[in-house]
Structure 1
């Protein structure tokens, strides 16, 4: 024991911590963001970035990173909303849109859907409003719904589990100066990737701005080339299409398309290519992956893409960019059930993806449709799910949460830095 206490037998030295050791907490923002770029999807990025304040600030303060991430990883489709198929048979029963999630294997995306309110229960809890709702538009993580009986609109954010706003679209301002017979509203959403808390709702040429909480009423304008209809008949199809801040409506005779540039609030009319006037052709205006406006059409199993181009004489026209027969590819994706269908139809176009539904119009079959997505960059299709196709379809694409989009200084006081 004495030997053990001898000053010549000093205790073993404690191992010193290597000051050069790098931990994940000590990574600089540039390296951290490079790591984040390698995450598989937006849902995984959201889960990682919200781990701590520093990581959240790194993403929120870098618009350049968000642009690169969007280019590498398009925002994922979480599912499709379907409007109620018809009028409510029993007034006591709610008529609400239904939601069908995609069957992907990504656990973070599945968790986002499970944590959201895709049953739209916030609408059912609204006192004094009947549950007869139809989706008018669905963009930027918002769902815009209309209640035609009570001339009320609601803006819902399913991922945030709340109704953002209820407002009346039957106020006198929207009808001021109108002398026609009857009036049909066409409501659209205008959203921004870099300002997800801000939105605009357009009804007629009347715009509701979320920043001011007020309606901006535009004067009625003469529409050139408007086809003649009978008294009380509406002359445009019941559809709203948008691409890069421009709204599109197709004439019922399918010869022309009315456009509204929401930046200038100017109307114009484009003549449609002759093959789009074919009643057997379905088409939708949307955006390519880079945001360029496009028209995607389908005739039987042939899918084509038109882009806006300026010709030699300086006139902008829709020009065919590509067309591809998908029958063989869809046969490989769907297998033997492909024999049950004789065509596909375009139901929506979003961010470089077109959403299709299979149909059997020859035998009047009640076979449910298969819904598919088709990447316009690769022209490769993917099977989503099978469901009855009996109403309008609205894709719900995962938005960037407001907590990850904004100027760094906007978040600094909250983070205590």
Structure 2
């Protein structure tokens, strides 16, 4: 006969309660599939455990790829109640979409992958060999701007006709070129003819804009594509009474069935600006484009949402005095703050940030270029006798060269490290970011890459 248990009534009750709690603890998540009796896979992991796995993904680009795996993983990463609503993650994920930059090198446009994305990208997908051939008598396509996964090119004629005279290759007399918007990943392009009404004007810049607000997709998607892009042409209209004064105009081209050119801004008369030659583009930040104007106390700005011009006054400590006509660049960051990058007279590369709470400009970062470049290969003692020049800027890097000789190096704005070895430092032209579309398709090519995941179109 089996002996009777010596447990008390109270201990039996606690034992049953423990068993019930244990059963509840083992109960699968409502959103996960029931655990089968046979072999299990990754789709049987409960949501709360899968979240812990995704939180440990090494890089934003890898997390972006993970979100492209299936609807469930995308929901866990992007929904408001997911563990990823932190604004720092949102910034890093957007940064992860930047696959690289197209660098201008003479008549060539070279795609340089971002270091965090280089291992997963095939450069052949970013080739521009599909662009249409230029007509006889025209110069090659020139890169004007990028937005999302689109590029904007324009072409100039070798000979321009003005006032009955022939002018050989001087861009000053380029009033309006033909343009092409292209999608390198899908190898598609759309040509845009210049608007005849803009022919009397001189061109200050051509830029891509996101889709109109009514056409914008839900959060997480791309806001620009071949079917909904816009192009803004900023032009200069001379004053008929003053030779050295004028006014800006903005003309917008919209794609789609009812697209075409139209003049958006008619407030140019209220924003007088100096002669065309004294104006140069100074970058974009926080939904605005900026132009520096020599010997002027203000900066010309265009709001890309309202398509309205204004004159913005920056502190002289940020952009220099009008007499200095110093070069500065406006750059944007993932946090939405406006920043100005400038090389000071003493060769301090200084990043100014505007505080959103007060509007005050403060020094955010500073790199003493002569000291920071000391010991780099090719560095000469004669460098930095004059203020260095900014060659190009991105949200992460600034490319700089001494005035004495073209010796390009880059400054990482996050780590403040100075670098001469990266491929981006080989090109003295502008750099244009290229973002991956959302969501990128993934494939595994076992024949060529032995199982490595590649972004495909």
**Same fold by TM (over 0.5)?**
yes
- Higher relative contact order (CA closer than 8 Å, sequence separation 6+): 1
Q: Which residue of 1 aligns with 2:342?
A: 297
Q: Which residue of 2 aligns with 1:114?
A: 123
Alignment of 1:45-60 (within 5 A): 45-52=63-70, 54-55=72-73
C-alpha distance in 1 between matches for 2:79 and 2:136: 42
The one of 261, 268, 281 aligned to 2:303: 261
**Is residue 104 of structure 2 the alignment partner of residue 83 of structure 1?**
yes
Cα deviations by residue, 1:370-389 (Å, 9 ceiling, x for unpaired): 3314224x434444237565
Q: Which residue of 2 aligns with 1:345?
A: 389
The one of 59, 70, 82 aligned to 1:41: 59
**What SS class does the counterpart of residue 186 from structure 1 fall into?**
strand
**Is residue 211 of structure 2 the alignment partner of residue 186 of structure 1?**
no
User: How much does 1:324 deviate?
Assistant: 3.9
User: How much does 1:270 deviate?
Assistant: 1.8
Q: Which residue of 2 aligns with 1:200?
A: 230
**What SS class does the counterpart of residue 192 from structure 2 fall into?**
strand
Q: Which residue of 1 aligns with 2:445?
A: none
C-alpha distance in 2 between matches for 1:154 and 1:40: 38
Q: CA RMSD in A?
A: 4.0
Greater radius of gyration (CA): 2
Cα deviations by residue, 1:85-109 (Å, 9 ceiling, x for unpaired): 3xxxxxxxxx4x32152584x5x52
C-alpha distance in 1 between matches for 2:305 and 2:438: 24
Cα deviations by residue, 1:217-257 (Å, 9 ceiling, x for unpaired): 2243335574543xxx44421x2622121121111335321
Q: Which residue of 1 aligns with 2:165?
A: none
Q: Which residue of 2 aligns with 1:25?
A: 43
TM-score (norm 2): 0.63
Determine if contact 2:253/2:261 at 8 Å carries over to the other structure.
yes
Q: Which residue of 2 aligns with 1:307?
A: 353
Cα deviations by residue, 1:126-174 (Å, 9 ceiling, x for unpaired): 889956111111232322111133822222233x142343212x21354
Q: Which residue of 1 aligns with 2:91?
A: 71
C-alpha distance in 2 between matches for 1:311 and 1:234: 36
Consecutive unaligned residues of structure 2, counting only runs of 5 or more, are: 1-34, 158-175, 212-219, 235-249, 442-457
**What SS class does the counterpart of residue 279 from structure 2 fall into?**
coil
**What SS class does the counterpart of residue 402 from structure 1 fall into?**
coil
Consecutive unaligned residues of structure 1, counting only runs of 5 or more, are: 1-16, 86-94, 176-180, 406-417
C-alpha distance in 1 between matches for 2:90 and 2:351: 22
Alignment of 1:95-110 (within 5 A): 95=107, 97-99=108-110, 101=112, 104=115, 108-110=117-119
C-alpha distance in 2 between matches for 1:36 and 1:111: 19
The one of 140, 150, 153 aligned to 2:179: 153
User: How much does 1:71 deviate?
Assistant: 3.3
What count of residue pairs does the alignment treat as equivalent? 352
Q: Which residue of 2 aligns with 1:163?
A: 188
- Change in CA separation of 1:210 and 1:124 when aligned onto 2, cut-off 3 Å: closer
C-alpha distance in 2 between matches for 1:252 and 1:71: 35
- Change in CA separation of 1:219 and 1:401 when aligned onto 2, cut-off 3 Å: closer
**What SS class does the counterpart of residue 439 from structure 2 fall into?**
helix
